[in-house]
Chain A
Amino acid sequence: MNFNATLIGQMITFAVFVWFCMKYIWPPLMHALEERKAKIADGLAAAERGQKDLELAQARVTDNLKEAKVQAQEIINQAHKRANEMVDEAKEVAREEADKIKAAASADIEQQINSAREHLRKEVAAIAIAGTEQILKREVNAEAHGKVIDDMMAQI
């Protein structure tokens, strides 16, 4: 073991190398590492936030869906009701119409019956007068016996 000036040379070299490493190598490397660490942490936090947002959105979607279903049901119910109402209304209108037609028809019939009766009565009266004339062989004065004829006609 010969000690010589190599010892001092090595010490100086070592000191210079350590200084260089401390000044130019370690800080940028550590800086990059720290920055990346922060970036990854941020990324993870963002991912977590995204996950949470997604969950919230999904919950909202479910709520909306439920609400929409309820609304749709309501609309359907209303439509059903409305349809029933319309059917009822239509029925009502139809019935009224039918009643009206019926009434008109019966009035018509009544009138015809009356007119027929009137006609018949007149005819019967004429036949009766003619018969009576035959029986009596003489002329019946319609004017003189008008009253009697009217009574008879009223009885028919």
Chain B
Amino acid sequence: MAGSYETSGEYIKHHLTNLTFGYTEEHGWGIAHGADEIKEMGFWAINIDSMAFSIGLGVLFLWWFRKIAKAATTETPTGWQNFIEMLCEFIDSSVRGSFSGRNPLIAPLSLTIFVWVFLLNLMDLIAVDLVPWLASLVGIPYLKIVPTTDPNITFGLALTVFILVLYYSVKIKGPGGFFAELAFHPFPKFMMPINLLLEGVTLIAKPISLALRLFGNMYAGEMIFILIALMYGGGWILGIFGGFLQLGWAIFHILIITLQAFIFMTLTIVYLDMASQEPH
């Protein structure tokens, strides 16, 4: 597939460009043709591919779980019900283990994060060229099918978690208590500015690390898939070697995508637990 591009650099660049809808001086409202136009569109543009896959997979997850949840009985669970109940129990025990308070939001939040992020990551295992090639047949110029390789998506998740952290911090500790935690912590009170700086960085680092960890892992994984795919254009021997590499990396990637989804969920629980601690 790489053969249809002028250079391998162009191939990689093409694969890493989102299908973006926005406003440019030249074309008005429309789909961007390349990275430069995306830059020109600024903030008020939307990555259609990321959003579509993200919402599509989310709806798939919700529809599937809702179907099972509606049919759930106390009889012996069978098939997918068994699997989903196992998943729910696993998440429930994770929440019970890490979250000391009582909050009915945490467990569903964790379930959503785990399954949704897992599904978003799972798109990485579909051959890199397959879906964009099919899309190009119907005239879609760019398509990134792994939403978690789009920082907008990972930051969207992390910022929502961060808003929840702030909300519960203020709600449970009170504005004063939250401020006290930030201002009077590692050092005594008279060194308040330093405390604020240190704790502020700690606080801000939470969502950023959460988002960048997921994004970095998935982006790097996608990048390696693309690089391996480049080898198919390099003759028979490189192609076969690339096939083995792809298989190996894909198997390893199954571990990574599950692990990243789990880490995102666990850290969310931990951050919210810290936010919900009563002041001491």
Contacts and interface: CB of A to CB of B under 8 A. Distances in A.
Contact of B112 (A2, A6, A21, A28): A21
A44 interface: no
Nearest to A36: B74
Contacts, number: 124
A28 B69 contact: yes
Interface string B47-63: 10011001100100110
B68 A3 contact: no
Contacts of B39: 2
B88 A29 contact: yes
B108 A33 contact: no
B250 interface: no
Given A4-B45, A4-B46, A24-B69, A9 B156 contact: yes
State the majority secondary structure of interface residues on A.
helix
Interface string A1-39: 111111111110111011011101110111111011001
Interface string B100-121: 0000110111011000100000
Contacts of B203: none
A17 B73 CA distance: 24
Contacts of B177: none
Contact of B160 (A11, A20, A22, A26): A11
A28 B45 CA distance: 39
Given A22-B104, A26-B111, A6 B62 contact: no
A33 B45 contact: no
Contact of A28 (B61, B70, B150, B151): B70
Interface string B74-113: 1001000000110011001000000000001101110110
B269 interface: no
A28 B111 CA distance: 14
Contact of A24 (B41, B43, B66, B88): B66
A104 B74 CA distance: 99
Interface in B18-53: 18, 20, 22, 38-39, 41-47, 50-51
Given A9-B46, A13-B58, A14-B160, A3 B152 contact: yes
Contact of A15 (B45, B85, B150, B160): B160
Contacts of B89: 33
Given A4-B20, A6-B156, A26-B108, A21 B47 contact: no
Given A4-B45, A14-B156, 14 more contacts: A2-B38, A7-B159, A8-B156, A9-B46, A11-B157, A14-B160, A17-B116, A21-B62, A21-B112, A22-B105, A25-B62, A30-B107, A31-B72, A35-B74
12 contacts: A3-B151, A3-B155, A5-B45, A6-B46, A6-B51, A8-B156, A13-B156, A14-B157, A15-B160, A29-B68, A29-B84, A29-B88
> Which 7 residue pairs spanning A and B have beta carbons closest together?
A10-B156, A6-B152, A32-B72, A22-B108, A26-B108, A28-B69, A21-B108
